[in-house]
Structure 1
Amino acid sequence: MAAKKTKTPQSEMSFLDHLEELRWHLIRSTIAVLVIATVAFVFRKFLFDVIIFGPKDADFISYDILCRISNLVGMEKGCIGEGDLDFIVQSRKVAGQFNAAIWTSITAGVVVGFPYILYEFWKFISPGLYDNERKTSRGFIFIASLLFFMGAFFGYYVITPLSVNFLAGFKISEIIQNEFDIDSFISLVRSSVLAAGIIFELPIIIYFLTKIGLVTPEFLRKNRKYALVIVLILSAIITPPDISTQVIVAVPILILYEVSIIISRIVLKREEKRAKRQMA
Protein backbone atom coordinates (compact mmCIF):
# COMPACT_ATOMS: atom_id res chain seq x y z
CA MET A 1 0.00 0.00 0.00
CA ALA A 2 1.45 3.38 -0.98
CA ALA A 3 2.30 5.77 1.83
CA LYS A 4 0.21 8.95 2.16
CA LYS A 5 1.87 12.18 1.20
CA THR A 6 2.02 14.70 4.01
CA LYS A 7 2.71 18.39 3.59
CA THR A 8 6.05 19.45 5.03
CA PRO A 9 5.62 22.06 7.83
CA GLN A 10 6.93 25.50 6.84
CA SER A 11 9.41 25.53 9.75
CA GLU A 12 10.94 22.20 8.59
CA MET A 13 11.12 23.01 4.88
CA SER A 14 14.54 22.98 3.23
CA PHE A 15 15.88 25.79 1.06
CA LEU A 16 14.86 23.92 -2.08
CA ASP A 17 11.36 23.35 -0.65
CA HIS A 18 11.06 27.10 -0.06
CA LEU A 19 12.14 27.75 -3.65
CA GLU A 20 9.55 25.26 -4.90
CA GLU A 21 6.88 26.96 -2.78
CA LEU A 22 7.93 30.38 -4.11
CA ARG A 23 7.85 29.04 -7.68
CA TRP A 24 4.20 28.01 -7.35
CA HIS A 25 3.25 31.38 -5.85
CA LEU A 26 4.95 33.09 -8.81
CA ILE A 27 3.23 30.75 -11.28
CA ARG A 28 -0.23 31.46 -9.83
CA SER A 29 0.47 35.20 -9.83
CA THR A 30 1.63 35.04 -13.46
CA ILE A 31 -1.48 33.10 -14.50
CA ALA A 32 -3.70 35.70 -12.81
CA VAL A 33 -1.89 38.53 -14.62
CA LEU A 34 -2.16 36.74 -17.97
CA VAL A 35 -5.90 36.06 -17.51
CA ILE A 36 -6.56 39.74 -16.76
CA ALA A 37 -4.24 40.76 -19.61
CA THR A 38 -6.21 38.55 -22.00
CA VAL A 39 -9.47 40.23 -20.97
CA ALA A 40 -7.82 43.65 -21.38
CA PHE A 41 -6.59 42.67 -24.86
CA VAL A 42 -10.11 41.56 -25.89
CA PHE A 43 -11.47 44.95 -24.75
CA ARG A 44 -8.46 46.87 -26.07
CA LYS A 45 -10.62 49.46 -27.86
CA PHE A 46 -12.08 50.59 -24.52
CA LEU A 47 -8.65 50.28 -22.86
CA PHE A 48 -7.01 52.63 -25.36
CA ASP A 49 -9.80 54.99 -26.45
CA VAL A 50 -11.21 55.62 -22.96
CA ILE A 51 -8.33 54.98 -20.54
CA ILE A 52 -4.95 55.36 -22.25
CA PHE A 53 -5.94 58.22 -24.55
CA GLY A 54 -8.40 59.76 -22.08
CA PRO A 55 -5.90 62.45 -20.94
CA LYS A 56 -5.45 63.46 -24.60
CA ASP A 57 -9.03 64.74 -24.67
CA ALA A 58 -9.57 68.33 -23.52
CA ASP A 59 -12.86 67.17 -21.94
CA PHE A 60 -10.99 64.80 -19.60
CA ILE A 61 -12.41 65.33 -16.10
CA SER A 62 -9.07 66.25 -14.53
CA TYR A 63 -8.60 69.30 -16.75
CA ASP A 64 -11.88 70.84 -15.59
CA ILE A 65 -11.06 70.22 -11.93
CA LEU A 66 -7.50 71.52 -12.28
CA CYS A 67 -8.82 74.60 -14.09
CA ARG A 68 -11.24 75.35 -11.24
CA ILE A 69 -8.48 74.90 -8.66
CA SER A 70 -6.21 77.22 -10.66
CA ASN A 71 -8.94 79.86 -10.80
CA LEU A 72 -9.44 79.61 -7.04
CA VAL A 73 -5.77 80.39 -6.39
CA GLY A 74 -5.69 83.10 -9.06
CA MET A 75 -3.84 81.17 -11.77
CA GLU A 76 -4.88 80.66 -15.38
CA LYS A 77 -2.12 78.21 -16.19
CA GLY A 78 -4.12 75.14 -15.21
CA CYS A 79 -6.88 75.70 -17.76
CA ILE A 80 -6.84 74.03 -21.16
CA GLY A 81 -7.21 76.42 -24.07
CA GLU A 82 -8.28 75.69 -27.61
CA GLY A 83 -5.56 73.78 -29.42
CA ASP A 84 -3.48 73.12 -26.28
CA LEU A 85 -3.83 69.37 -26.76
CA ASP A 86 -3.69 69.50 -30.53
CA PHE A 87 -1.16 66.74 -31.13
CA ILE A 88 -1.11 63.43 -32.99
CA VAL A 89 -0.28 60.02 -31.57
CA GLN A 90 1.23 57.89 -34.31
CA SER A 91 2.73 54.44 -34.81
CA ARG A 92 5.86 54.36 -36.92
CA LYS A 93 6.63 50.65 -36.70
CA VAL A 94 4.97 47.77 -38.53
CA ALA A 95 4.13 45.94 -35.31
CA GLY A 96 3.88 49.12 -33.24
CA GLN A 97 0.16 48.94 -32.47
CA PHE A 98 0.20 45.19 -31.83
CA ASN A 99 3.15 45.46 -29.43
CA ALA A 100 1.45 48.39 -27.70
CA ALA A 101 -1.72 46.32 -27.26
CA ILE A 102 0.21 43.34 -25.82
CA TRP A 103 2.36 45.24 -23.32
CA THR A 104 -0.41 47.61 -22.26
CA SER A 105 -2.66 44.60 -21.61
CA ILE A 106 0.07 43.02 -19.47
CA THR A 107 0.47 46.28 -17.54
CA ALA A 108 -3.29 46.34 -16.98
CA GLY A 109 -3.01 42.75 -15.74
CA VAL A 110 -0.36 43.75 -13.18
CA VAL A 111 -2.30 46.81 -11.98
CA VAL A 112 -5.71 45.12 -11.72
CA GLY A 113 -4.20 41.88 -10.38
CA PHE A 114 -2.09 43.66 -7.75
CA PRO A 115 -4.25 42.50 -4.80
CA TYR A 116 -3.94 38.86 -5.87
CA ILE A 117 -0.16 39.22 -6.36
CA LEU A 118 0.01 40.62 -2.82
CA TYR A 119 -2.13 37.73 -1.60
CA GLU A 120 0.30 35.18 -3.05
CA PHE A 121 3.24 37.10 -1.57
CA TRP A 122 1.52 37.17 1.81
CA LYS A 123 0.78 33.43 1.66
CA PHE A 124 4.49 32.82 1.11
CA ILE A 125 5.82 34.96 4.00
CA SER A 126 3.00 34.60 6.57
CA PRO A 127 4.00 31.09 7.82
CA GLY A 128 7.27 32.62 9.04
CA LEU A 129 5.48 35.15 11.26
CA TYR A 130 4.36 34.80 14.87
CA ASP A 131 0.63 34.28 15.49
CA ASN A 132 0.21 37.77 16.96
CA GLU A 133 2.07 39.26 13.98
CA ARG A 134 -0.30 37.50 11.58
CA LYS A 135 -3.28 38.86 13.52
CA THR A 136 -2.02 42.45 13.59
CA SER A 137 -1.10 42.24 9.88
CA ARG A 138 -4.42 40.73 8.82
CA GLY A 139 -5.44 43.82 6.89
CA PHE A 140 -2.13 43.97 5.01
CA ILE A 141 -3.54 42.98 1.60
CA PHE A 142 -6.48 45.38 1.83
CA ILE A 143 -4.43 48.37 3.05
CA ALA A 144 -1.54 47.78 0.64
CA SER A 145 -3.96 47.36 -2.30
CA LEU A 146 -5.89 50.46 -1.26
CA LEU A 147 -2.70 52.53 -1.10
CA PHE A 148 -1.54 51.19 -4.47
CA PHE A 149 -4.84 52.00 -6.19
CA MET A 150 -4.92 55.45 -4.55
CA GLY A 151 -1.46 56.05 -5.99
CA ALA A 152 -2.46 54.65 -9.38
CA PHE A 153 -5.52 56.93 -9.52
CA PHE A 154 -3.39 59.89 -8.43
CA GLY A 155 -0.89 59.08 -11.16
CA TYR A 156 -3.60 58.73 -13.79
CA TYR A 157 -5.88 61.64 -12.84
CA VAL A 158 -3.26 64.14 -11.65
CA ILE A 159 0.29 63.38 -12.83
CA THR A 160 -0.63 62.15 -16.32
CA PRO A 161 -2.88 65.09 -17.35
CA LEU A 162 -0.43 67.62 -15.89
CA SER A 163 2.41 65.97 -17.81
CA VAL A 164 0.43 65.71 -21.05
CA ASN A 165 -0.70 69.33 -20.79
CA PHE A 166 2.82 70.62 -20.15
CA LEU A 167 4.64 68.50 -22.72
CA ALA A 168 2.01 68.90 -25.43
CA GLY A 169 2.07 72.67 -25.02
CA PHE A 170 5.85 73.03 -24.84
CA LYS A 171 7.40 74.24 -28.09
CA ILE A 172 10.86 75.41 -29.04
CA SER A 173 9.57 76.68 -32.38
CA GLU A 174 6.23 77.12 -34.14
CA ILE A 175 7.72 75.28 -37.11
CA ILE A 176 7.73 71.98 -35.19
CA GLN A 177 4.50 69.99 -34.94
CA ASN A 178 3.95 67.62 -32.05
CA GLU A 179 3.47 64.09 -33.32
CA PHE A 180 4.17 61.67 -30.47
CA ASP A 181 5.02 58.03 -30.95
CA ILE A 182 2.50 55.63 -29.41
CA ASP A 183 5.21 53.95 -27.29
CA SER A 184 6.26 57.31 -25.86
CA PHE A 185 2.70 58.31 -24.95
CA ILE A 186 1.86 54.96 -23.37
CA SER A 187 5.16 55.03 -21.47
CA LEU A 188 4.18 58.40 -19.98
CA VAL A 189 0.84 57.06 -18.76
CA ARG A 190 2.32 53.77 -17.54
CA SER A 191 5.24 55.32 -15.64
CA SER A 192 2.97 57.92 -14.01
CA VAL A 193 0.52 55.28 -12.80
CA LEU A 194 3.04 52.67 -11.64
CA ALA A 195 5.46 55.15 -10.06
CA ALA A 196 2.69 56.82 -8.08
CA GLY A 197 1.26 53.44 -7.06
CA ILE A 198 4.63 52.28 -5.72
CA ILE A 199 5.35 55.60 -3.96
CA PHE A 200 1.99 55.41 -2.17
CA GLU A 201 3.17 52.12 -0.62
CA LEU A 202 5.54 54.15 1.60
CA PRO A 203 3.55 53.52 4.84
CA ILE A 204 3.65 49.75 4.22
CA ILE A 205 7.40 49.87 3.54
CA ILE A 206 8.00 51.89 6.73
CA TYR A 207 5.82 49.41 8.66
CA PHE A 208 8.03 46.45 7.70
CA LEU A 209 11.28 48.41 8.11
CA THR A 210 10.18 49.30 11.64
CA LYS A 211 9.22 45.69 12.35
CA ILE A 212 12.72 44.48 11.51
CA GLY A 213 14.37 47.33 13.40
CA LEU A 214 15.88 49.26 10.51
CA VAL A 215 13.74 52.37 11.03
CA THR A 216 12.45 54.23 14.09
CA PRO A 217 10.11 57.24 14.45
CA GLU A 218 13.05 59.27 15.80
CA PHE A 219 15.09 58.42 12.72
CA LEU A 220 12.25 59.50 10.42
CA ARG A 221 11.68 62.76 12.29
CA LYS A 222 15.39 63.53 12.44
CA ASN A 223 15.80 63.00 8.70
CA ARG A 224 12.62 64.80 7.68
CA LYS A 225 14.57 67.52 5.85
CA TYR A 226 16.46 64.92 3.81
CA ALA A 227 13.17 63.17 3.07
CA LEU A 228 11.83 66.48 1.75
CA VAL A 229 14.76 66.73 -0.68
CA ILE A 230 14.24 63.11 -1.81
CA VAL A 231 10.51 63.74 -2.30
CA LEU A 232 11.22 66.81 -4.43
CA ILE A 233 13.71 64.81 -6.51
CA LEU A 234 11.14 62.01 -6.99
CA SER A 235 8.52 64.60 -7.95
CA ALA A 236 10.92 66.06 -10.50
CA ILE A 237 11.58 62.60 -11.96
CA ILE A 238 7.96 61.52 -12.41
CA THR A 239 6.64 64.94 -13.50
CA PRO A 240 7.64 67.46 -16.18
CA PRO A 241 10.00 70.32 -15.17
CA ASP A 242 7.18 72.53 -13.97
CA ILE A 243 7.35 73.85 -10.38
CA SER A 244 3.58 73.94 -9.76
CA THR A 245 3.22 70.33 -10.96
CA GLN A 246 6.08 69.17 -8.77
CA VAL A 247 4.54 70.83 -5.72
CA ILE A 248 1.15 69.21 -6.41
CA VAL A 249 2.84 65.81 -6.57
CA ALA A 250 5.12 66.43 -3.58
CA VAL A 251 2.31 67.36 -1.15
CA PRO A 252 0.59 63.92 -0.93
CA ILE A 253 3.98 62.18 -0.70
CA LEU A 254 4.95 64.39 2.24
CA ILE A 255 1.59 63.59 3.88
CA LEU A 256 2.34 59.88 3.40
CA TYR A 257 5.74 60.42 5.04
CA GLU A 258 4.11 61.99 8.10
CA VAL A 259 1.60 59.12 8.23
CA SER A 260 4.54 56.71 8.04
CA ILE A 261 6.08 58.33 11.14
CA ILE A 262 2.83 57.71 13.06
CA ILE A 263 2.71 54.09 11.83
CA SER A 264 6.35 53.57 12.84
CA ARG A 265 5.60 54.91 16.34
CA ILE A 266 2.61 52.58 16.72
CA VAL A 267 4.60 49.54 15.54
CA LEU A 268 7.50 50.36 17.88
CA LYS A 269 5.17 50.66 20.88
CA ARG A 270 3.61 47.29 20.07
CA GLU A 271 7.04 45.69 19.75
CA GLU A 272 8.11 47.15 23.11
CA LYS A 273 4.93 45.83 24.79
CA ARG A 274 5.50 42.38 23.27
CA ALA A 275 9.12 42.37 24.50
CA LYS A 276 7.99 43.31 28.03
CA ARG A 277 5.38 40.52 28.07
CA GLN A 278 8.01 37.97 27.02
CA MET A 279 10.37 39.13 29.76
CA ALA A 280 7.66 39.03 32.44
Structure 2
Amino acid sequence: MATNIKHRKGTKAMDPEGNMTLSGHLKELRNRVVICAVIYIVAAVGFLTISDQLINFLTAMADGVYNFISIDPQEKLIQYFRVALIAALVVTIPFIAYHVYAFARPGLKKSESFFFGLVLVMGLGLFVVGVMFAYFISLPFMLNFMGTLEGADYIVQTTSIASYVSFCITIFLIFGAVFEMPLVVIILSRMGIVSPEFMRKARGVMIVLIFFVAAVITPPDIVSQTMVALPMCLLYGISTVLCKIFYKKPLAADDEEEEADQDDED
Protein backbone atom coordinates (compact mmCIF):
# COMPACT_ATOMS: atom_id res chain seq x y z
CA MET A 1 0.00 0.00 0.00
CA ALA A 2 2.76 2.44 0.96
CA THR A 3 4.64 1.64 -2.25
CA ASN A 4 1.60 2.44 -4.38
CA ILE A 5 1.08 5.75 -2.64
CA LYS A 6 4.67 6.76 -3.26
CA HIS A 7 4.33 5.75 -6.88
CA ARG A 8 1.20 7.86 -7.29
CA LYS A 9 2.82 10.87 -5.72
CA GLY A 10 5.79 10.53 -8.02
CA THR A 11 3.65 10.18 -11.14
CA LYS A 12 1.77 13.38 -10.38
CA ALA A 13 5.01 15.33 -10.86
CA MET A 14 5.92 13.55 -14.14
CA ASP A 15 4.20 13.45 -17.51
CA PRO A 16 3.88 10.26 -19.62
CA GLU A 17 7.20 11.05 -21.36
CA GLY A 18 9.06 11.15 -18.05
CA ASN A 19 9.42 14.95 -17.91
CA MET A 20 8.53 16.97 -14.83
CA THR A 21 5.17 18.70 -15.02
CA LEU A 22 4.50 22.35 -14.23
CA SER A 23 3.18 21.46 -10.78
CA GLY A 24 6.34 19.45 -10.18
CA HIS A 25 8.52 22.42 -11.11
CA LEU A 26 6.50 24.72 -8.86
CA LYS A 27 6.78 22.28 -5.96
CA GLU A 28 10.54 22.02 -6.44
CA LEU A 29 10.83 25.81 -6.64
CA ARG A 30 8.78 26.19 -3.46
CA ASN A 31 10.99 23.72 -1.60
CA ARG A 32 14.16 25.52 -2.67
CA VAL A 33 12.74 28.92 -1.71
CA VAL A 34 11.76 27.57 1.72
CA ILE A 35 15.26 26.18 2.26
CA CYS A 36 16.88 29.51 1.37
CA ALA A 37 14.41 31.39 3.59
CA VAL A 38 15.17 29.13 6.56
CA ILE A 39 18.92 29.59 6.05
CA TYR A 40 18.46 33.36 5.92
CA ILE A 41 16.36 33.46 9.10
CA VAL A 42 18.81 31.28 11.01
CA ALA A 43 21.74 33.39 9.82
CA ALA A 44 19.94 36.63 10.73
CA VAL A 45 19.23 35.42 14.26
CA GLY A 46 22.84 34.31 14.62
CA PHE A 47 24.26 37.63 13.41
CA LEU A 48 21.92 39.57 15.71
CA THR A 49 23.77 38.04 18.65
CA ILE A 50 27.06 39.50 17.38
CA SER A 51 25.74 42.68 15.73
CA ASP A 52 27.85 44.87 18.02
CA GLN A 53 30.97 43.09 16.73
CA LEU A 54 29.84 43.70 13.14
CA ILE A 55 29.50 47.42 13.88
CA ASN A 56 32.97 47.37 15.42
CA PHE A 57 34.26 45.66 12.27
CA LEU A 58 32.91 48.49 10.11
CA THR A 59 33.99 51.35 12.35
CA ALA A 60 37.52 49.95 12.67
CA MET A 61 38.38 51.57 9.32
CA ALA A 62 37.74 55.04 10.77
CA ASP A 63 39.20 54.42 14.20
CA GLY A 64 40.82 57.60 15.49
CA VAL A 65 39.44 59.74 12.66
CA TYR A 66 35.74 60.05 13.47
CA ASN A 67 33.63 60.18 16.61
CA PHE A 68 30.42 58.21 16.08
CA ILE A 69 27.13 59.41 17.54
CA SER A 70 23.54 58.21 17.59
CA ILE A 71 21.20 61.07 16.76
CA ASP A 72 17.84 59.34 17.19
CA PRO A 73 16.92 57.13 20.16
CA GLN A 74 16.34 54.13 17.92
CA GLU A 75 19.22 54.74 15.50
CA LYS A 76 21.75 52.48 17.20
CA LEU A 77 19.29 49.60 17.52
CA ILE A 78 18.20 49.95 13.88
CA GLN A 79 21.82 49.77 12.67
CA TYR A 80 22.36 46.61 14.68
CA PHE A 81 19.42 45.00 12.92
CA ARG A 82 20.52 46.45 9.60
CA VAL A 83 24.04 45.04 9.60
CA ALA A 84 22.78 41.69 10.91
CA LEU A 85 20.22 41.36 8.11
CA ILE A 86 22.75 42.38 5.47
CA ALA A 87 25.34 39.94 6.82
CA ALA A 88 22.73 37.18 6.79
CA LEU A 89 21.93 38.00 3.16
CA VAL A 90 25.63 37.79 2.25
CA VAL A 91 25.87 34.35 3.84
CA THR A 92 22.66 33.17 2.15
CA ILE A 93 23.57 34.34 -1.38
CA PRO A 94 25.85 31.32 -2.12
CA PHE A 95 23.03 28.96 -1.13
CA ILE A 96 20.61 30.92 -3.33
CA ALA A 97 23.07 30.71 -6.24
CA TYR A 98 23.41 26.96 -5.77
CA HIS A 99 19.66 26.38 -5.71
CA VAL A 100 19.19 28.58 -8.79
CA TYR A 101 21.81 26.48 -10.57
CA ALA A 102 20.32 23.19 -9.36
CA PHE A 103 16.83 24.26 -10.43
CA ALA A 104 17.92 25.34 -13.93
CA ARG A 105 20.46 22.56 -14.58
CA PRO A 106 18.03 19.85 -15.83
CA GLY A 107 16.86 22.14 -18.65
CA LEU A 108 20.36 23.08 -19.81
CA LYS A 109 22.81 21.40 -22.13
CA LYS A 110 26.10 20.20 -20.71
CA SER A 111 28.02 23.20 -22.10
CA GLU A 112 25.29 25.61 -20.98
CA SER A 113 25.24 24.06 -17.52
CA PHE A 114 29.01 24.51 -17.19
CA PHE A 115 28.88 28.12 -18.40
CA PHE A 116 25.95 28.97 -16.12
CA GLY A 117 27.75 27.50 -13.10
CA LEU A 118 30.93 29.35 -14.05
CA VAL A 119 29.03 32.65 -14.25
CA LEU A 120 27.53 32.15 -10.79
CA VAL A 121 30.84 31.20 -9.16
CA MET A 122 32.77 34.00 -10.86
CA GLY A 123 30.07 36.52 -10.03
CA LEU A 124 30.19 35.70 -6.32
CA GLY A 125 33.98 35.51 -6.23
CA LEU A 126 34.57 38.80 -8.04
CA PHE A 127 32.03 40.61 -5.86
CA VAL A 128 33.76 39.36 -2.71
CA VAL A 129 37.15 40.47 -4.05
CA GLY A 130 35.72 43.92 -4.81
CA VAL A 131 34.28 44.29 -1.31
CA MET A 132 37.56 43.16 0.27
CA PHE A 133 39.48 45.65 -1.87
CA ALA A 134 37.14 48.42 -0.73
CA TYR A 135 37.41 47.46 2.94
CA PHE A 136 41.17 47.03 3.17
CA ILE A 137 42.39 49.64 0.67
CA SER A 138 39.90 52.14 -0.74
CA LEU A 139 37.65 52.96 2.21
CA PRO A 140 40.47 53.57 4.72
CA PHE A 141 42.09 56.05 2.31
CA MET A 142 38.78 57.81 1.62
CA LEU A 143 37.85 58.08 5.28
CA ASN A 144 41.32 59.22 6.32
CA PHE A 145 41.43 61.85 3.58
CA MET A 146 37.99 63.26 4.35
CA GLY A 147 38.56 63.09 8.10
CA THR A 148 41.93 64.88 8.07
CA LEU A 149 41.06 67.80 5.80
CA GLU A 150 42.56 71.07 6.92
CA GLY A 151 39.98 73.50 8.28
CA ALA A 152 38.75 75.39 11.29
CA ASP A 153 39.97 73.92 14.55
CA TYR A 154 36.55 74.14 16.17
CA ILE A 155 35.03 71.69 13.62
CA VAL A 156 34.96 68.26 15.23
CA GLN A 157 34.89 65.20 12.99
CA THR A 158 31.72 63.39 14.07
CA THR A 159 29.20 61.39 12.08
CA SER A 160 26.05 59.46 12.86
CA ILE A 161 26.37 55.72 12.83
CA ALA A 162 23.50 55.50 10.33
CA SER A 163 25.25 57.78 7.83
CA TYR A 164 28.52 55.90 8.24
CA VAL A 165 26.95 52.47 7.70
CA SER A 166 25.08 53.75 4.62
CA PHE A 167 28.32 55.18 3.21
CA CYS A 168 30.19 51.91 3.75
CA ILE A 169 27.44 49.81 2.17
CA THR A 170 27.31 52.14 -0.85
CA ILE A 171 31.07 51.89 -1.39
CA PHE A 172 30.98 48.10 -0.99
CA LEU A 173 28.26 47.83 -3.63
CA ILE A 174 30.13 50.16 -6.01
CA PHE A 175 33.38 48.23 -5.82
CA GLY A 176 31.62 44.88 -5.88
CA ALA A 177 29.89 45.95 -9.11
CA VAL A 178 33.12 47.36 -10.60
CA PHE A 179 34.93 44.07 -10.04
CA GLU A 180 32.24 42.27 -12.05
CA MET A 181 33.79 43.71 -15.24
CA PRO A 182 35.42 40.40 -16.34
CA LEU A 183 32.15 38.55 -15.86
CA VAL A 184 30.20 41.10 -17.91
CA VAL A 185 32.76 40.86 -20.70
CA ILE A 186 32.57 37.04 -20.65
CA ILE A 187 28.78 37.11 -21.02
CA LEU A 188 28.86 39.73 -23.79
CA SER A 189 31.63 37.92 -25.65
CA ARG A 190 29.77 34.62 -25.34
CA MET A 191 26.75 36.32 -26.92
CA GLY A 192 28.94 37.71 -29.70
CA ILE A 193 28.30 41.34 -28.73
CA VAL A 194 31.88 42.16 -27.69
CA SER A 195 34.84 40.84 -29.68
CA PRO A 196 38.56 40.68 -28.78
CA GLU A 197 39.26 43.15 -31.57
CA PHE A 198 36.83 45.64 -30.05
CA MET A 199 38.46 45.24 -26.64
CA ARG A 200 41.89 45.99 -28.12
CA LYS A 201 40.72 49.02 -30.10
CA ALA A 202 38.79 50.47 -27.16
CA ARG A 203 41.68 50.10 -24.69
CA GLY A 204 42.76 53.75 -24.83
CA VAL A 205 39.23 55.11 -24.48
CA MET A 206 38.45 52.70 -21.66
CA ILE A 207 41.55 53.68 -19.69
CA VAL A 208 40.52 57.34 -19.87
CA LEU A 209 36.97 56.38 -18.85
CA ILE A 210 38.30 54.26 -15.97
CA PHE A 211 40.30 57.17 -14.54
CA PHE A 212 37.25 59.42 -14.93
CA VAL A 213 35.07 56.94 -13.01
CA ALA A 214 37.78 56.59 -10.35
CA ALA A 215 37.87 60.37 -9.97
CA VAL A 216 34.10 60.46 -9.48
CA ILE A 217 33.84 57.72 -6.85
CA THR A 218 36.92 58.67 -4.82
CA PRO A 219 38.05 61.81 -2.95
CA PRO A 220 39.85 64.42 -5.08
CA ASP A 221 43.40 63.24 -4.44
CA ILE A 222 45.65 61.48 -6.94
CA VAL A 223 46.60 58.65 -4.56
CA SER A 224 43.04 57.40 -4.02
CA GLN A 225 42.15 57.79 -7.69
CA THR A 226 45.21 55.84 -8.78
CA MET A 227 44.60 53.05 -6.26
CA VAL A 228 41.09 52.60 -7.65
CA ALA A 229 41.97 53.08 -11.34
CA LEU A 230 44.93 50.69 -11.49
CA PRO A 231 42.94 47.60 -10.39
CA MET A 232 40.22 48.57 -12.87
CA CYS A 233 42.82 48.77 -15.66
CA LEU A 234 44.12 45.37 -14.58
CA LEU A 235 40.58 44.01 -14.67
CA TYR A 236 40.19 45.38 -18.20
CA GLY A 237 43.33 43.53 -19.25
CA ILE A 238 42.04 40.32 -17.68
CA SER A 239 38.69 40.90 -19.40
CA THR A 240 40.45 41.19 -22.78
CA VAL A 241 42.13 37.80 -22.27
CA LEU A 242 38.87 36.20 -21.16
CA CYS A 243 37.12 37.70 -24.19
CA LYS A 244 39.52 35.81 -26.47
CA ILE A 245 38.73 32.57 -24.66
CA PHE A 246 34.94 32.85 -24.53
CA TYR A 247 34.21 34.84 -27.69
CA LYS A 248 31.57 33.26 -29.90
CA LYS A 249 30.64 34.56 -33.33
CA PRO A 250 27.03 35.72 -33.79
CA LEU A 251 24.68 33.05 -35.08
CA ALA A 252 23.92 35.07 -38.19
CA ALA A 253 27.57 35.06 -39.17
CA ASP A 254 27.81 31.33 -38.55
CA ASP A 255 24.77 30.71 -40.74
CA GLU A 256 26.23 32.81 -43.55
CA GLU A 257 29.47 30.83 -43.39
CA GLU A 258 27.59 27.53 -43.53
CA GLU A 259 25.59 28.71 -46.54
CA ALA A 260 28.79 29.81 -48.26
CA ASP A 261 30.35 26.42 -47.65
CA GLN A 262 27.29 24.68 -49.09
CA ASP A 263 27.39 26.90 -52.20
CA ASP A 264 31.05 26.05 -52.71
CA GLU A 265 30.28 22.34 -52.49
CA ASP A 266 27.45 22.70 -55.03
Q: Does 1:36 align with 2:57?
A: no
Q: Does 1:55 align with 2:61?
A: yes
**Contact 2:196 / 2:240 at 8 angstroms: preserved in 1?**
yes
Q: Distance in 2 between matches of 1:30 and 1:236?
A: 40
Q: Distance in 1 between matches of 2:87 and 2:191?
A: 33
- The alignment's TM-score, normalised by the length of structure 1, stands at 0.74
Q: Label 1:129 to 1:55 Cα distance change in 2 as closer, same or farther (>3 A).
A: same
Q: Equivalent residues in 2 for 1:230-245 (5 A)?
A: 230-245=209-224
The count of aligned residue pairs is 247
Q: Does 1:122 align with 2:101?
A: yes
Q: Distance in 2 between matches of 1:40 and 1:234?
A: 34
Report Cα offsets for 1:21-74 as digits up to 9, x if no partner. 76765555454334323222111122122x11111235xxxxxxxxxxxxxxxx
Q: Distance in 2 between matches of 1:229 and 1:18?
A: 48
Q: Which amino acid in structure 1 is aligned with residue 60 of structure 2?
A: G
Greater helix fraction, Structure 1 or Structure 2: 2
Alignment counterpart, residue 228 of structure 1, candidates 193, 203, 207: 207
**Contact 2:61 / 2:139 at 8 angstroms: preserved in 1?**
yes
Q: Distance in 1 between matches of 2:85 and 2:47?
A: 8
Q: Distance in 1 between matches of 2:241 and 2:26?
A: 36
**Contact 2:192 / 2:248 at 8 angstroms: preserved in 1?**
no
Question: Which range moves more in the overlay, 35-44 or 241-250?
Answer: 35-44
Q: Equivalent residues in 2 for 1:1-280 (5 A)?
A: 3-4=8-9, 5-7=12-14, 28-49=35-56, 51-57=57-63, 85=65, 87-268=66-247
Q: Label 1:102 to 1:170 Cα distance change in 2 as closer, same or farther (>3 A).
A: same
Q: Distance in 1 between matches of 2:243 and 2:108?
A: 19
Q: Label 1:133 to 1:252 Cα distance change in 2 as closer, same or farther (>3 A).
A: same
Report Cα offsets for 1:158-206 as digits up to 9, x if no partner. 1111111011112442221111011111122222222222221221222
**Contact 2:130 / 2:176 at 8 angstroms: preserved in 1?**
yes
Q: Distance in 2 between matches of 1:173 and 1:29?
A: 52
Q: Label 1:169 to 1:134 Cα distance change in 2 as closer, same or farther (>3 A).
A: same
Q: Distance in 1 between matches of 2:186 and 2:164?
A: 35
Q: CA deviation at 1:139?
A: 4.2
Q: Which amino acid in structure 2 is aligned with residue 169 of structure 1?
A: T
- The alignment's TM-score, normalised by the length of structure 2, stands at 0.77
Q: CA deviation at 1:223?
A: 2.1
Q: Which runs of 5+ in 2 are unaligned?
A: 262-266
Q: Which amino acid in structure 1 is aligned with residue 44 of structure 2?
A: A
Q: CA deviation at 1:137?
A: 5.0
Q: Label 1:171 to 1:124 Cα distance change in 2 as closer, same or farther (>3 A).
A: farther
**Contact 2:192 / 2:249 at 8 angstroms: preserved in 1?**
no
Q: Distance in 1 between matches of 2:208 and 2:116?
A: 31
Q: Distance in 1 between matches of 2:193 and 2:200?
A: 14
Q: Label 1:162 to 1:28 Cα distance change in 2 as closer, same or farther (>3 A).
A: farther
Q: Label 1:6 to 1:124 Cα distance change in 2 as closer, same or farther (>3 A).
A: closer
Q: Which amino acid in structure 1 is aligned with residue 134 of structure 2?
A: G
Q: Distance in 1 between matches of 2:43 and 2:212?
A: 34
Q: Distance in 2 between matches of 1:236 and 1:22?
A: 44
Look at both structures and tell me which one has the larger radius of gyration over its CA atoms.
Answer: 2
State the identity %.
27
